[in-house]
Structure 1
Amino acid sequence: MELIFLSLGLFSSLSYAASASPAADNVIRLKPSLNPPPGISKPIDPSFAGFGIEPSNLFSFMGAADPNTFTLNLLNNLANYTGKPPHIRIGGNTQDYMVYREDQNQWTWINNDNAFEHGANKQDSMLIGPRFFEAANRLPNGTTVTWGLNLAYDQDDHIKQITTMAKQALTNCPNLKITSFEIGNEPDLYLQNGFRTGPWGGQIYTQQWLSRASAIHSQVLQPHGLPSNFFEAAATASTIGTDFQISDLLGFDICTAPSYLSGWNQHDYYYYIGVSGYPVSLSHLLQLSTTEDQFAAWTEQVQQAQRTPYPYALREMGVVGPIGLEGVTNVFGAALWTLNFLLYTASLGIAGIGFHMTDNSNASAWQPVAMYGRPAHVRPLYYGIVAFDQAIGPSCAARVAQYPVPQVPDGYGDFVRAYAVYQQQALATLVVVNGKVFNSSSSNSNSNSNSAPGSQPQKQRGRITVQLQLPPSTAGQTLYLAYLTNAGADATANTTWNGISFEQSGDGTPAQVSSSENTVRIANDGTATFSLQDTEAVVANLGREVGASTPGAETSCLNVPQKSPGDNDTDTTPTDPSSSSSLLLQPPAATGDAGTPNSPDDDAESGVEARFVLGTCTSTAITIAMGVMIVGLY
């Protein structure tokens, strides 16, 4: 049978049509345009593939009196591959348990013996001091950070407590580039966990969010010369069946002038134990279509965000929550899923992903300290992030488009996805992920890789052939291939990416374990052919080695059009402020330290990108509501 990718109109008229006649069994025919297709993503920020660190576990990841060099090496690897450290969110459940005490000088958080009785978890049960910020400040220089603040705490001195925490973060972390505050973690669950009683929902949340944002702006941001639009909302676990949807919050005037909003922030897990309501397996995870199904409600939120001027980020994302699942999240299959998820969400126009990490989770990209009878170690999931980072490269110009898969043979359709990456408006990279499950526990496997308990062996490892058709003008050029591979989906160790291992060194630094160069010469007719095993992914670069610098990368960040983050069209013509549509899409003015709208120079000095400054949230909310009504008529 034949596996064929067709363009279905995604690519422009410069695309070359797919051949109608089969050449071999299990062949994927890719015929991309050399120019970016319609619907392609905006340029991807190099910090896109980021992490969330649970505040109560900060010292495990960053170290106590001595820095955790294992964590720092792994973060520095990623910074080297993209030219910018991954975005870090310091936030999670325990941000809503923490208050600051100046005399708490231990390299850990301590229990508050005088905590208020309120909720299943006391809203001030954890005391942190100066050492907490000293540990956070060890992140790689220039790391962009979203810092989580405690909204659950609602005693009489709540303004003093939250402004104190914000001030400590900005004052005592000079190594970091804190770009936003997050007020509260998953407020949609506050009734469930007892942090709030009585009436509670999106509207009351908005009122309390605005009150705290206003206080932080006047007492903390203005003295630091920072603008008012410094806050992400609403860090929700889920918006399904709630009034915490973006359209709801807009209707509640969450971005009323002066604007405190810098972006939208939501959370998701592919699967959550005790919540998802169906059994999960490695095979189910690698059925990549299920990711798209699970993400449907979040896709709607992305679309609502894209009707506003504010970017949308998944600041807390996980494969299986709350702390992973052995045999699913700690095996090689999770690396393939991660690579696909990053490419998929990038193609949707999401601004960033934060894979959440705790020190006791099998879903964390690495184990930062000894636990479960094992020393600190790298999990396969980390390799999926590295593969994504090297696929987009050290550039601010990478843009991603997904290929549709309309015709595939039985057994492959839900497991195979392909993506194209464009640099400087030209095709640079193709990525194919083959999630068809093959386990290393098969009797045919000669590998000594570890296997997860309960995995089901297959008799023979299959493969597909990728047949690439490019214009004849590319004839003679070299296609460089890099594989994300292991002995099988259930392998817990010995993953390699591009011939590199992060396990062999023992300290998280990369070790080249294979020096073989995988290349294909493009034939005179523009074709190139290579193979891909089941449970494997390949990144194919046109004309340069995978991981090498992208031509023009040094200036690409400077050349990205300064547009409203939520504007999705590809036209770079400045918006006409007099038009009615521009009034619907522009945010209220952000204010600087003098309480007046920021000039471009103000934004440049504070490290915050310039934003348009007209319009109201209410008009945007009406636009979204009208869009929903119109769709409902058809």
Structure 2
Amino acid sequence: MGRTPFSSCSFILCLACLSTTLAQNSPQVTIYYQPGHTPGASQTTVAAADYTGAAAYNPTVLQPPDLPNPMPSLQFGIQLVNGGTPGTSIPQPGAFMGFSIEMSVANQVLGKNSSYIQVPFLNLMSNIVKRAGAVHVRVGGNTQEFAEMVDSLPNGRILQKELNNTSNPTQTPPLDYTPDLLYMMRNISDFLNVRWYLGIPFNDTNWRLQIAERGQEILGEYLIGLQTGNEPDLYVRHGHRNEGWGPNDFLSEMQSLVSAMQTSASNGSPYASTYQKLLIGPNVNTGDWTPEMVWDTGFVDTLNDNLAFLSVEHYPADNCAAQFNTGGQIVDPQAEFPYYLQHSAGQGLVAPYLNSTAYAQSKGKKLLMFETNTASCGGFAGISDSFGAALWGLDYGLQMAHSNFSGALFHIGGQNVFYNPFTPPPTNQSTFRQWTIGPIYYSAIVMAEALGAKGDARVLDLNVNDGNTYTPAYAIYENDNPVRVALFNYMNDPSGASNYIASIAIGGGNTGQSPSTPSSVKVKYLAAGSVSQKGNFTWAGQTWGDHFASDGRPMGEESVQTVNCDTGNNVCQVQVPAPGFALVFLSEDALSESENGGDDVKTFATSAVTRSINTATVDPQVLATSNGHKAGELKDRLGSTSKGSTGGVGERKVGKAWMMAVVLGIFGGLMMV
């Protein structure tokens, strides 16, 4: 993957990049280098993948599975009660489903640097913030483990990969990055309520704390967690630790890390006392260890004051043999497809963690699914990029919420993966192509609307239709009363003969209330012509298009259906197409909260162009009235980020109109040069 192009239209913000070097004096230091990697080795780059061969745009379309035999009932009842229902989850936020961006591609997804932010990314996040109030994004992954902060890189880059020296099945390169990566993230958060997770490198016990130190300094309240160790249960298998290294050794290294942070605080760091309380662990992949093996070491009790979250990572399958020639058995996506098209898939994924979600609550901690997607090593062609994956991701997310996880991050790689929620075009095509929005992004949008922005959503798997795996349903409660119902139909039948009708009734419960079924409900549909369809899915009639078609804003008119209820029998009959998903809003307030419960944010266009085709435009009058017209007022100045200067990063205030002008008039979200 090549580096992102330089924009002749980009406006260079004066962001001074300060370097903080923390020397830790430890009598015993262990450095784990990637196999074949030595410090100071030469670094190279390669050209961007041709989109016709890149996994992100693979044209493979699979055959939909046959209809189940026997068929499930196509009409069944759902009885909901007011005043509390046993089995509902802990309160869940609308921002439950977030994103994990592999650190090595952050300069493709987020932006070229702090002065050139990807506008489609802003739009995509804005869509979710509008519904959920916030969105949580991790920048990390395998590439965080060997990442080193440097003062600067050639040609103003913020990231540079050593592609000659890779390891792991995913061929992870060592990575250098500059503080401007963090400034770029902070600038994004100044536009939208994006909260960030970062990761501390875990290959060197002379701990490199720069990402924690500078991250806390630059991101401030927007930094909500620091991952410590990415899949440590796979370290031995991948050659990153010696044979026999286990959970107790991991705990010892975690204690060493905390000790280094405490030393940094005692040596005068103004940030260490804060970031040492933001740690996230153990991040096991449940490969060679189970979470219980870590809990049994006393991990949580020992590190209690330092752990902001507990976390695991998990993928349901892997495609490593086909993607990276590992020598293992190659998986046939067509044979795997039916697995992803049933409710039992999400239930099976969550089942091994039910003990851990209960354990986390007993310790007063939240458990995160810190990295997941359809399959590791990039997912499967025809599955990960199909409408079926949108249904699977949404069902899996709701199942995690029901099972008392407190958040989940769906991973984003580069051009060489099938499962991306969203993918910028290859850099050599960014002048004439837009972004590709994958099915998991639709899952995230719908998940945000299903949970709403209040932070009091309790999720219940209803086990309807005699527990049939092809027709699952969830209820979402607020203040112990049902507000939304989520209905799935995994069957594939374009004839319409396999559409089903759910008859929803509300009332009763332990409050003695009489039935309170409304006179009508509102319904939004997530739809496509087939479970194997690629692109052009619709959510409430709107779409993010096909390959290379999106600037992050939904296209088309929103369509919200009104279903009149049978008030005589106190029942609302909602039809769900095969395939499809319906989100039923049981009141106007529930609909309003889902659509507008978050911040009053806007989407963004771009005018940074040097080509006359495929460009977006901005009304000149908008720029004329917003471009720095209050720059003389102190409260609207862009503060310096240099330490000791007026308006340092911790105190800087940027006029909203000024910042909007920068996005609209400067940032090249379509990367046109």
Under a length normalisation based on structure 2, what TM-score does the superposition of the two structures give?
Answer: 0.68
In structure 2, the partner of 1:196 is 241
**Are 1:41 and 2:89 an aligned pair?**
yes
Q: CA deviation at 1:97?
A: 1.9
Single out whichever of 460-469 and 118-127 deviates more from structure 2: 118-127
2:111 counterpart (48, 51, 63): 63
With over 3 angstroms needed to count, the CA separation of the structure-2 counterparts of 1:121 and 1:51, relative to structure 1, is closer
Which deviations, in whole Å up to 9, do the C-alpha atoms of 1:22-41 show, x marking residues without a partner? Answer: xx962121001123311211
Q: CA deviation at 1:93?
A: 0.5
Map 1:274-423 to 2 at 5 A. Answer: 274=320, 279-280=332-333, 281-360=336-415, 361-370=417-426, 375-405=434-464, 407=466, 413-423=468-478
CA distance in 1, matches of 2:239, 2:176: 20
In structure 1, the partner of 2:179 is 130
Partners of 1:59 and 1:135 within 8 A in 2: no
In structure 1, the partner of 2:567 is 523
CA distance in 1, matches of 2:553, 2:285: 34
* SS, match of residue 198 in structure 2: strand
1:431 counterpart (467, 486, 489): 486
Map 1:106-185 to 2 at 5 A. Answer: 106-111=156-161, 125-140=174-189, 141-154=192-205, 158-159=206-207, 162-174=208-220, 177-185=222-230
How many percent identity over aligned positions? 19
Q: CA deviation at 1:173?
A: 2.8
One-letter amino acid of the structure 2 residue matched with residue 152 of structure 1: N
CA distance in 1, matches of 2:346, 2:367: 18
* SS, match of residue 50 in structure 1: strand
In structure 2, the partner of 1:232 is 280
Q: CA deviation at 1:301?
A: 3.0
One-letter amino acid of the structure 2 residue matched with residue 491 of structure 1: Q
In structure 2, the partner of 1:82 is 132
1:209 counterpart (254, 267, 271): 254
2:270 counterpart (223, 228, 238): 223
Partners of 1:317 and 1:354 within 8 A in 2: yes
In structure 1, the partner of 2:579 is 535
Q: CA deviation at 1:292?
A: 1.7
With over 3 angstroms needed to count, the CA separation of the structure-2 counterparts of 1:533 and 1:546, relative to structure 1, is farther
In structure 2, the partner of 1:464 is 500
Map 1:490-529 to 2 at 5 A. Answer: 490-503=532-545, 506-515=550-559, 517-529=561-573
Q: CA deviation at 1:138?
A: 3.8
With over 3 angstroms needed to count, the CA separation of the structure-2 counterparts of 1:545 and 1:205, relative to structure 1, is same
Q: CA deviation at 1:172?
A: 2.6
* SS, match of residue 425 in structure 2: coil
Partners of 2:129 and 2:193 within 8 A in 1: no
Which deviations, in whole Å up to 9, do the C-alpha atoms of 1:346-371 show, x marking residues without a partner? Answer: 00010100001112222111112338
- Runs of 5+ consecutive residues of structure 1 not aligned to the other structure: 1-23, 439-444, 446-458, 556-634
One-letter amino acid of the structure 2 residue matched with residue 490 of structure 1: S
Which deviations, in whole Å up to 9, do the C-alpha atoms of 1:577-633 show, x marking residues without a partner? Answer: xxxxxxxxxxxxxxxxxxxxxxxxxxxxxxxxxxxxxxxxxxxxxxxxxxxxxxxxx
With over 3 angstroms needed to count, the CA separation of the structure-2 counterparts of 1:550 and 1:485, relative to structure 1, is closer
Partners of 2:74 and 2:498 within 8 A in 1: no
One-letter amino acid of the structure 2 residue matched with residue 483 of structure 1: Y
Single out whichever of 128-137 and 390-399 deviates more from structure 2: 128-137
With over 3 angstroms needed to count, the CA separation of the structure-2 counterparts of 1:120 and 1:76, relative to structure 1, is closer
CA distance in 1, matches of 2:446, 2:390: 9
CA distance in 2, matches of 1:120, 1:26: 44
CA distance in 2, matches of 1:125, 1:551: 42
CA distance in 2, matches of 1:321, 1:120: 10
Q: CA deviation at 1:247?
A: 5.3
Q: CA deviation at 1:319?
A: 0.9
Partners of 1:96 and 1:124 within 8 A in 2: no
* SS, match of residue 483 in structure 2: strand
With over 3 angstroms needed to count, the CA separation of the structure-2 counterparts of 1:49 and 1:40, relative to structure 1, is same
* SS, match of residue 593 in structure 2: coil
Q: CA deviation at 1:539?
A: 0.8
Partners of 1:268 and 1:317 within 8 A in 2: yes
CA distance in 2, matches of 1:357, 1:325: 14
One-letter amino acid of the structure 1 residue matched with residue 157 of structure 2: W
CA distance in 2, matches of 1:142, 1:219: 30
In structure 1, the partner of 2:527 is 485
Of structures 1 and 2, the one scoring higher in RCO (CA 8 A, sep 6+) is 2
* SS, match of residue 260 in structure 2: helix
Q: CA deviation at 1:112?
A: 5.9
One-letter amino acid of the structure 2 residue matched with residue 369 of structure 1: P
Which deviations, in whole Å up to 9, do the C-alpha atoms of 1:347-399 show, x marking residues without a partner? Answer: 00101000011122221111123389874211122112111111111211111
CA distance in 1, matches of 2:389, 2:453: 24
Which deviations, in whole Å up to 9, do the C-alpha atoms of 1:216-243 show, x marking residues without a partner? Answer: 24426962352743211111111x552x
* SS, match of residue 431 in structure 1: strand
One-letter amino acid of the structure 1 residue matched with residue 196 of structure 2: V
CA distance in 1, matches of 2:73, 2:152: 70
Partners of 1:286 and 1:437 within 8 A in 2: no
* SS, match of residue 382 in structure 1: helix
In structure 1, the partner of 2:313 is 267
With over 3 angstroms needed to count, the CA separation of the structure-2 counterparts of 1:218 and 1:246, relative to structure 1, is farther
* SS, match of residue 313 in structure 2: strand
Question: In the comparison of the two structures, how many residue pairs are matched?
Answer: 499
* SS, match of residue 234 in structure 1: strand
Q: CA deviation at 1:496?
A: 0.9
- Runs of 5+ consecutive residues of structure 2 not aligned to the other structure: 1-71, 322-327, 508-513, 600-673
Partners of 1:98 and 1:124 within 8 A in 2: no
1:256 counterpart (280, 302, 327): 302
With over 3 angstroms needed to count, the CA separation of the structure-2 counterparts of 1:199 and 1:254, relative to structure 1, is farther
Q: CA deviation at 1:279?
A: 4.7
Q: CA deviation at 1:114?
A: 12
Q: CA deviation at 1:95?
A: 0.4
With over 3 angstroms needed to count, the CA separation of the structure-2 counterparts of 1:520 and 1:338, relative to structure 1, is farther
With over 3 angstroms needed to count, the CA separation of the structure-2 counterparts of 1:53 and 1:475, relative to structure 1, is closer
Q: CA deviation at 1:311?
A: 1.1
